[in-house]
A = this chain, B = another copy of it.
Amino acid sequence: MTPMTNGLKASDLQLRFCTNETQLNREAFVDKLKRLGFDISVSEVFSPAPAAVAILKERGYRPHLLVYDGLLPEFDSVDTTNPNCVVIGDAAEKFSYQNLNEAFRVLIGLEKPVLFSLGQGRYYKETDGLALDVGAYMKALEYACDLKAEVVGKPSPIFFQSVLNDMRLQPHEALMIGDDLVNDVGGAQHCGMKGVQVRTGKYRPSDERHSTVTADGTVDDLAQAVDMILKQRH
């Protein structure tokens, strides 16, 4: 991977990294991208956990957390005593029968059960094969408790809006680039931004004739997307 976003950094354009990563905290995520050659700082990264923390504090929620251990530091500042809601992330092997029952019991014991889900992915690729993502467990708890979870992360409009707010930009002034047609491109478009898909990662040829989402552009990779943006500036 070529760190082509550095070309953007040299321009006067603002840059933010929006990820649904919920296994690493932002520090670890930035370290990982830096090793790949990206010039990036923690304040430029938007991920579901800190967005959830802001919501929890704003609404006075004390969460029961069912998240990956590596993500726990993001919640250090949150009161988790006597929980009045549940937050689930991609907890991977922590999605045990016992832990799911525990989260369920917290929810069903509340007068008004509230569930936050850090993303709603169906599945993803692990080194040893495909694995169920947080969205599947969200659906399990939604059904058992007869509720609708509040999704934090892409494609949630509240998530994209928080990133726009941070840049002090209007939606039409921003462009989203991503490999996930529904969550990246569709989510951004739903907020009034333009959305460009890269033909890497999660991209599938069938995305280019998707029934509900049509990208504003499709490019081979991030380098080509950056090139396109910088050329249009001149």
Please tell me if the beta carbons of A135 and B130 are within 8 angstroms of each other in the complex. no
Chain B residue numbers with a CB within 8 Å of A44 are none
- Measured CB to CB, the closest approach of chain B to A158, in angstroms, equals 22
- Given contacts A97-B93, A97-B95, whether A135 and B144 have CB atoms under 8 Å apart is yes
Chain B residue numbers with a CB within 8 Å of A136 are 104, 140-141, 143-144
A137, CB-defined interface residue at 8 Å? yes
Please tell me if the beta carbons of A129 and B143 are within 8 angstroms of each other in the complex. no
Q: Chain A interface (Cβ within 8 Å of chain B)?
A: 92-98, 100-101, 104-105, 108, 122-123, 129-133, 135-137, 139-146
What are the 9 A-B residue pairs with the smallest beta carbon separation, nearest first?
Answer: A136-B140, A139-B143, A140-B140, A136-B144, A139-B139, A122-B144, A95-B97, A93-B97, A101-B131
- 25 residue pairs from A and B, CB less than 8 Å apart: A92-B97, A93-B97, A94-B97, A95-B100, A96-B96, A100-B132, A101-B129, A101-B131, A101-B132, A104-B123, A104-B132, A105-B129, A105-B130, A122-B144, A122-B146, A132-B140, A133-B144, A136-B141, A136-B144, A137-B140, A139-B139, A139-B140, A139-B142, A139-B143, A140-B140
